[in-house]
Chains A and B, each alone.
Chain A
């Protein structure tokens, strides 16, 4: 992409820590790391070393409860894949807006049991959306628009050559968003929350199709898929504090939906 006027071979990565890294993919030099989410856990990234500059008061230690750590452990963006459009030049990222209070406890190493030692409680970050599907311009290094969501966005995104971005939310809505303006063009409520990746392909009849697996699960959806108890805020490593309502909005499921795009 063009970096400071000249074409440069780069890797762009929305990191879990809330920074959008632009890295020279030949030398490894960190060219930029801009915050794309609300961050309290670190000051920024030292571009000379590429290392995160931690805030000392947010560094966890045993027996201490550290409050308002943003982003929280799933990250400002978890593993869910983003997509990039060569036509618009934008990155479409499904991501989270959450913070946490956490406490480090002593933990025994016992093979066969979890080795974590953390008590955490998650809650929404500033603003009343816990997730959003954001369009980011890597050259201008800023957010263009975002579709706000009530719940963390745990699905991937896929963008087509027709300038449509597809993604799904935890309530089960599968959405088609205009890749340039962010307007939601179409949505369909599937039977269960979506944590899959939309796939688009050309069928044997020459028509374009888009497919999505619907069925809630993953870390944010474990409350529903594993029938956990929301009375305990440390359930599912902290999600218990905030996703209890999801049980009313999505049941469990497992269905593949394939939609044909208009000719």
Chain B
């Protein structure tokens, strides 16, 4: 009896706190509208040009449901076939700090939707937008850049990388990579 009261108290308390972002299940939300984002922050004059952040999109990388859906879609849409579990294969790695076309979630979304030179296909019209945001959030988590309490700590597949909760935060470099292919 007492424990049920305690549980309801905790649930009410939880919903009052912003930390419950991680718990929200946004099944039918509309995908955040996408503004024009540049793949690079490299700007003439010295100071980097900041990426225009989308607050709604940012929530995706703090939400457990979106990140775990992103993991499911990452496999479903064959991202594995070129990027492996973040280490890369015929495509570049997604878990390191080298981002040719930007590593913020908006830029990753843009790369998936637009496609990129040397083999990244454009998935525009092929993957629903909300799912692309979810995949982008999962990609962020592979480099340790999603909220650690929202990230899945283990997978059902054969163990590959360290648990995502233990990948260190990998800074997103604004400079172009040293070696270009």
CA of A233 to CA of B158 in the docked complex: distance in angstroms?
10
Given A229-B95, A231-B162, A235-B93: A116 and B81 within 8 A (CB)?
Answer: yes
Main secondary structure of the interface of B (DSSP, over half): loop
Give the nearest-CB partner of B78 in chain A. A113
| A226 cross-chain contacts in B, Cβ below 8 A | 88, 90, 92, 181
Given A119-B157, A234-B160, A252-B179: A108 and B78 within 8 A (CB)?
Answer: yes
Contact A232 B78 (CB under 8 A): no
Number of B residues near A (Cβ < 8 Å) is 30
Main secondary structure of the interface of A (DSSP, over half): loop
A227 within 8 A of B: yes
| B81, B161, B179: the one within 8 Å of A227 (CB) | B179
Contact A229 B121 (CB under 8 A): no
| A227 cross-chain contacts in B, Cβ below 8 A | 88, 92-93, 96, 98, 177, 179
Q: How far is the CB of A191 from chain B (nearest CB, A)?
A: 15
| B121 cross-chain contacts in A, Cβ below 8 A | 112-113
Contact B161 A232 (CB under 8 A): yes
| A115 cross-chain contacts in B, Cβ below 8 A | 78, 81
| B82 cross-chain contacts in A, Cβ below 8 A | 113-114
Given contacts A229-B88, A235-B89, 10 further A-B contacts (CB under 8 A): A102-B158, A105-B80, A105-B157, A110-B78, A112-B121, A113-B82, A115-B81, A222-B89, A230-B87, A235-B85
List, sorted by A's number, 23 A–B pairs whose CB atoms are closer than 8 Å. Answer: A65-B158, A102-B158, A105-B80, A105-B157, A108-B76, A108-B78, A110-B126, A114-B80, A116-B81, A121-B160, A222-B89, A227-B96, A228-B87, A228-B88, A228-B93, A229-B95, A231-B95, A232-B160, A234-B85, A235-B85, A235-B93, A236-B87, A240-B87
